[in-house]
Amino acid sequence: MNKKRPLSHDVDLQGRRVTIYDADDIENMRSAGRKAATVLDEITPLVQAGVSTKKLNDLIDGFMRDLGGVPATLGYKGYPASSCISVNHVVNHGIPSETKILAESDIVNIDVTILDNGWHGDSSRMFLCGDKVPQKGRKLVDTTYDAMMAGIAAVAPGRPINVIGKAIESVAKPNRASIVESFVGHGVGLIFHDSPAVFNYYCERDTLTLEEGMIFTVEPMLNAGRKDVKILNDGWTAVTRDRSLSAQFEHSIVVTAKGCEILTLSPMGYTKPPYPV
């Protein structure tokens, strides 16, 4: 008689279904996460002034296929590309384009999601396109990285999920960056965007208890100016309303017995820019 509960199962917390993944699932997510991080590592030396975001996208598409995966974003809800490339005041979901040529002073987010044997590895990093990025931009990128890592460091089983947003706020606020509220982190696994939602700001009532085996992203977007965003007519590109700079980093993580494990760490050791390439 086997009374052992299945290792991979759903828990219902405050009316929300959240999947608890078993050891085999987590191993699959380590593979997907490592591949997403590898794609970001591989594109790093090519993110330079003069290149089009379409060229970078096509290289990313090739890197994913070489790793035996496919771009999860291509055709997702009609999204037309293999990556999201968001430059300067673009908050997220920038659609790669032949005519968008990177300049020396640009800050750029590249967000990749690889579908690896059914599992999604989702990660994004910021890049500085040259030596001419103004201090304001470099500081925002730094703050955003620190905010993401503070959010991740707050994760542990038994804690409420809103410790993540609280930690992100604790870094953003003293650095006078605003937090975009209209996008959240998300459960990730066999489903690209799953529950739970992971808020990037402190939401008092959002007290879902973190449990070992939950997998989700932490992906704060911080702006140098106001938090307000709008979506362009292409239906995807989100920009800051005041055209101020925006930055984002994203890791996929799994909750462990003691805290969490980052599934999308860079094999090359690239954390925040400038990257030593």
Q: Which is nearer to ligand MF3, 53 or 113 (CB)?
A: 113
Task: Specify the residue for token string 């911080």.
Answer: 222
For residue 57, give both structure tokens.
């996208």
> H or E segment at 92?
strand 90-92
Which position among 25, 42, 219, 261 is part of the footprint of ligand MF3 (CB under 6 A)?
Answer: 219
Distance CA 32, CA 105 (A): 32
Contact between 111 and ligand MF3 by CB under 6 A: the answer reads yes
Q: Which is nearer to ligand MF3, 133 or 201 (CB)?
A: 201
Distance CA 3, CA 64 (A): 41
Beta carbon of residue 113, minimum distance to ligand MF3 (angstroms, whole number): 4
Contact between 206 and Co ion by CB under 5 A: the answer reads no
Contact between 229 and ligand MF3 by CB under 6 A: the answer reads no
Contact between 109 and ligand MF3 by CB under 6 A: the answer reads no
Helix or strand or coil: residue 70?
Answer: strand
Q: Which is nearer to ligand MF3, 133 or 196 (CB)?
A: 196
Contact between 111 and Co ion by CB under 5 A: the answer reads yes
Strand partners, 174: none
Cα separation of the two ends of the chain: 57
Distance CA 65, CA 114 (A): 9
Q: Which residues of the shown chain bind Co ion in the complex (CB under 5 A)?
A: 111, 122, 217, 250
Q: Which residues of the shown chain bind ligand MF3 in the complex (CB under 6 A)?
A: 73, 76-77, 79, 84, 93, 111, 113, 122, 217, 219, 236, 250
